[in-house]
A and B are shown apart, each in its own frame.
Chain A
C-alpha cells in the first residue's frame, strides 16, 4: 500500500539554525499538509498546500515557516531560524481531495532544538 514517507526521523538542531523537513506524499494525491505535535499536546494544523500554493495556514505558521514542492514528488517544510518552542513531532499528510477524503500521514520527524 502506498505511504507517505518523511525524512529524517529525528533532527537535532541548534537554536537559530535553519531546518528543512522533507516529505514524499502519495503519488496521486493533490493536497498536502503539515501538522505538529508538541510533547503531550494536541496535534495542531500548520498549513495546507494545493496546486503549488498555500490554501490555508494557522496562526502558528508565521514568517519563520515556509513550504515548498520543489519537484513532482517532494514536499518540504522549512523553519528559518529555529526556537526552543519549535521542538515537536512534525507530521506530513496528503490526500486525494478535501473534506470527506481521509488524510494519510507519515511517521513524523522529531525535531529537537537545543
Chain B
C-alpha cells in the first residue's frame, strides 16, 4: 500500500543553520506530494507541494523537490529561524484514492537562538 516515511525527530538546530528533513514514499503511479507544518496548538498548514516528477515546491524559504527516481521529497531550508520551530509532516495524495492524504509520522524541529 501507499506510505510515507520521515526521518525521526526531534531535530534541534541553532538559528541560521541548514535544515534537511528527509521524506521518502511508496506509491503506485504518480502521487502529489505535500509538506504541512503544525505550530503548537494549531492545525496543519500547507507549507508547499509538488504534483509531478522534478517539480520543486517552495514557500517561506523552504524547498522540496519531487524525485521520482529516489521516491523522495526532502524538505530543506538554508537558514532556519526560531519561529520555524514546529512539527513538519510529509504527505502524499495518490491518484484514485478518494483524495485522502497519507502522512508520515511528523518531525519535530526545535530552533535555538
B-contacting residues of A (Cβ < 8 Å)? 4, 6, 31, 33, 35, 41-45, 48, 55-56, 58, 91, 93, 95, 97-108
Contacts and interface: CB of A to CB of B under 8 A. Distances in A.
A42 B44 contact: no
Contacts of B34: 102
A44 B49 CA distance: 19
B22 interface: no
A26 B89 CA distance: 22
Given A100-B49, A107-B43, A108-B43, A55 B106 contact: no
A95 B99 contact: yes
Nearest to A57: B98
6 contacts: A42-B106, A56-B97, A91-B44, A101-B99, A102-B34, A107-B42
A98 B102 CA distance: 13
Interface in B9-67: 32, 34, 36, 41-46, 49, 51
Nearest to B98: A56
Nearest to A32: B99
B92 to A, nearest CB: 10
Given A56-B98, A98-B93, A107-B42, 5 more contacts: A4-B43, A58-B100, A95-B99, A99-B95, A105-B44
A106 B51 contact: no
A102 B44 contact: no
Q: Which of under 10, 10 to 19, 20 to 34, or 35 or more describes the interface residues of B?
A: 20 to 34
Contact of A43 (B93, B97, B98, B103): B103
B86 interface: no
Interface string B70-113: 00000000000000000001010101011111111110000000
A33 B99 contact: yes
Given A99-B95, A100-B49, A100-B51, A41 B105 contact: yes
Contacts of B95: 99
A3 B36 CA distance: 15
A56 B105 contact: no
A109 to B, nearest CB: 10
